[in-house]
Amino acid sequence: MFDSLHLRSNVTVKGQGEASILRKCDGVEVALILDGDYGEEQITVADPSPFRVGMGVTVRDQRSGGFHTTVATIIWQDGDAFGVTKPLNADCMVSNKAVAATTFPVISGYHVENARVEHLAIDGNRVNNPHLNGCRGAGVFLYRGHGTVIEHCVVRNYFGDGISFQQSNDVILTDCLVEGCSHLGMHPGSGSQRPTLKRNVSRKNDDMGIFLCWRVKHGVFEDNETLDNGRYGFSIGHKYTNNLFQRNRIIGNGKAGIHFRNESEAMAGHRNRIENNEIVGNGEHGIRIDGETHDIVICGNRFGDLPERPQPTHVFVGEKASRVLLDKNLYEGKGETCVNEGAADAVQLVS
């Protein structure tokens, strides 16, 4: 793949599983020699030889951050200048080490509805590519891809996130495998409402298994497995409220199985329900609740150790959290049942 497979509304792309492999081409990164201005639709590079018309390209500088990175397709060349399909999202200044890179999502859906992707495998070719941040790229990436269904797909070894969807409502992600990616396995974010993730496996990614980003609400996360990820199995944070997590296997992650991030009361991940999950052998905590997070229900879960990795604390409640209900959980192994650093009534232990 020298550019993304670009999805279209109401179109299904269907492969033959592991027999249908889309492999990211080797990527390079080249400095800009002229500033790329906000809204400009061309770039000028120090070495034009790696680029050609039809290739995917990323443009950014050291200040771009996630959402100000631009990912586009090259549509014309004039010497060391290239035209691209999207206006730049921000100024990309030579003084801030602006670059163009041959990086892009392997599958990409922008401004689509009811697209479907089934039975495809993606090889991200991680060792031969620069990093692309998950707010603008992944093995599979959606931006305002409402109602998209992704099922029975595999993403391996992408230098960035495995599957990321941003500002995309009612996305359904089922029976997928993401492994060996350099950052986040699965990344619903930036206000994607009502996501459904069922029966997926996210394992051995360098950072997190499933990262629940900003303003994602009313999601359902059932029967997933987050295994042996570098830091967290699930990470929950900024305005991420009213979601259900049930029957997931959250095992062997480096720090915590589930982490509620350190947010203020107005911004925290309130009113989430964690029910009937297996939360075992995570490096520091089964569940860690930081920030001014409240109204969390943790019921019917099994907490415990792995033979080679005990789970020191099953539930940790930080000093600013409140109204955490623990009900009918099973606590096995040597780990401490609950550490509460907050007010005495922050945790209600029913049984």
Rounded Cα–Cα distance for residues 131 and 30 (Å): 13
Pairing between strand 42-44 and 81-84? Answer: antiparallel
CA angle 52/56/60 to nearest 5° reads 105
Under the phi-then-psi rule, with left for phi > 0, alpha for psi from -120 to 50, and beta for the rest, what region is 345? alpha
Cβ-count burial 181-201 (b if 16+ within 10 Å, e if not): bbbbbbbbbbebbebebbbbb
Q: What is the pLDDT of residue 66?
A: 83
**Residue 27: HSE in the Cβ half-sphere, 13 Å Cα cutoff:** 27
- Which tokens is 37 given? 């201005």
Q: What is the pLDDT of residue 179?
A: 98
Residue 351 has pLDDT above 80, yes or no: no
Residue 64 has pLDDT above 80, yes or no: yes
Average pLDDT (276-302) is 98
Rounded Cα–Cα distance for residues 281 and 314 (Å): 9
**Residue 307: HSE in the Cβ half-sphere, 13 Å Cα cutoff:** 0
Average pLDDT (81-91) is 97
Interval 255-276: pLDDT, tens: 999 999 999 999 999 999 999 9
Compute CA 346 distance to the chain's CA centroid, rounded to the nearest angstrom.
Answer: 30
> 65 falls in which pLDDT band (50, 70, 90)?
confident
- Cβ neighbours of residue 54 under 8 Å, at least 6 residues apart? 2, 3, 73, 74
The mean pLDDT value of the chain amounts to 97
pTM to 2 decimal places: 0.96
Q: What is the pLDDT of residue 317?
A: 97
> 214 falls in which pLDDT band (50, 70, 90)?
confident
Q: What is the pLDDT of residue 138?
A: 98
Average pLDDT (101-114) is 98
Cα–Cα nearest to 170, from 184, 150, 152: 150
Q: What is the pLDDT of residue 331?
A: 96
Interval 304-348: pLDDT, tens: 999 989 999 999 999 999 999 999 999 999 899 999 999 999 999
Q: What is the pLDDT of residue 120?
A: 98
Query: For the chain, what percent of residues have pLDDT higher than 70?
Result: 100
Number of CB atoms found within 10 A of residue 40's CB: 17
Average pLDDT (251-258) is 98
**CATH architecture type of domain 5-23+103-349:** 3 Solenoid (2.160)
Q: What is the pLDDT of residue 350?
A: 86
Average pLDDT (170-192) is 97
Residue 301 has pLDDT above 90, yes or no: yes
* CATH code given to domain 29-101: 2.40.30
Q: What is the pLDDT of residue 275?
A: 98
Residue 78 has pLDDT above 90, yes or no: yes
Strand order in the sheet with 140-146: 5-6, 107-113, 140-146, 163-166, 184-189, 208-212, 232-236, 256-260, 285-289, 313-317, 336-340
Domain map of the chain by residue range? 5-23+103-349, 29-101
Query: For the chain, what percent of residues have pLDDT higher than 90?
Result: 96
Cα–Cα nearest to 243, from 215, 285, 282: 215
> 6 falls in which pLDDT band (50, 70, 90)?
very high
Average pLDDT (11-24) is 97
